[in-house]
Amino acid sequence: MVYSGRYIVKNKTKYKGDFNNVIYRSLWERAVFGWCDNNPKIKYWSSEEVVIPYFYEVDKKYHKYFVDVKIMYEDKTLLVEIKPERETVPPTGEKRTKRYIAEGLNYVKNMNKWEAADNYAKDRGWEFHIWTEKTLQEMKLLPKPVPGKLKKYTPLKPFRKRKRKKKL
């Protein structure tokens, strides 16, 4: 299943930017693009057209952050980042694993990006929001998971090499 692709804008007058080059990087983004395109309350919208410089604390360098969606209503403007809930909270679990370290670095990068985006939005009188799967479910853009439909998660046993029997 393909989770990214080119979104075809239906209301070209509502899109600010190159409407021939709108790329969604997840099915959640595609759902939000469709919602923006069809929502009569939205005056204009754009995807990855706002570029914000941010300082990444790990490598001590400035980077560019492309905000997922900019939504303009009559009375306010929103900058929206679409992320899974697990990327908005600090990592948990065993602290000396590669996974924990990778999640920790990703969390620090996200926090640096979002702090810069929040300051950028406040300087212009806008708002910065992070939409997770819970937000999209409340907006009815994603279906709520049906209890009992998913199998219960059972972790696999750790892999251990078999001991070879000694030959006599």
Give domain limits for the chain.
43-138
Q: Where are the alpha helices (DSSP H) in 39-148?
A: 98-124, 133-138
DSSP state for residue 48 in the 8-state scheme: S
Please compute the mean of the pLDDT values over residues 12-26 and round it to a whole number. Answer: 94
Q: Identify whether 68 is a catalytic site residue.
A: yes
What band does 166 get if pLDDT is binned at 50, 70 and 90?
confident
Q: Is 60 exceeded by the pLDDT of residue 1?
A: no
Q: What is the pLDDT of residues 38-78, one digit of tens each?
A: 999 999 999 999 999 999 999 999 999 999 999 999 999 99
Say what the pLDDT of residue 90 is. Answer: 93
Q: Identify whether 29 is a catalytic site residue.
A: yes
Q: Is 70 exceeded by the pLDDT of residue 151?
A: no
Nearest residue to 110 via CA among 47, 50, 68, 49: 68
d(CA 51, CA 128): 14
Q: What is the pLDDT of residues 108-140, one digit of tens each?
A: 999 999 999 999 999 999 999 999 999 999 999
Q: Are 130 and 118 in contact (CB under 8 A)?
A: no
Say what the pLDDT of residue 44 is. Answer: 97
What band does 34 get if pLDDT is binned at 50, 70 and 90?
very high
Say what the pLDDT of residue 46 is. Answer: 97
Task: State the catalytic residue, choosing from 83, 87, 118, 133.
Answer: 83
Q: Is 80 exceeded by the pLDDT of residue 17?
A: yes
Task: State the catalytic residue, choosing from 68, 70, 103, 113.
Answer: 68
**Residues pairing with 61 in the sheet:** 56
Please compute the mean of the pLDDT values over residues 18-41 and round it to a whole number. Answer: 95
**Residues pairing with 65 in the sheet:** 52
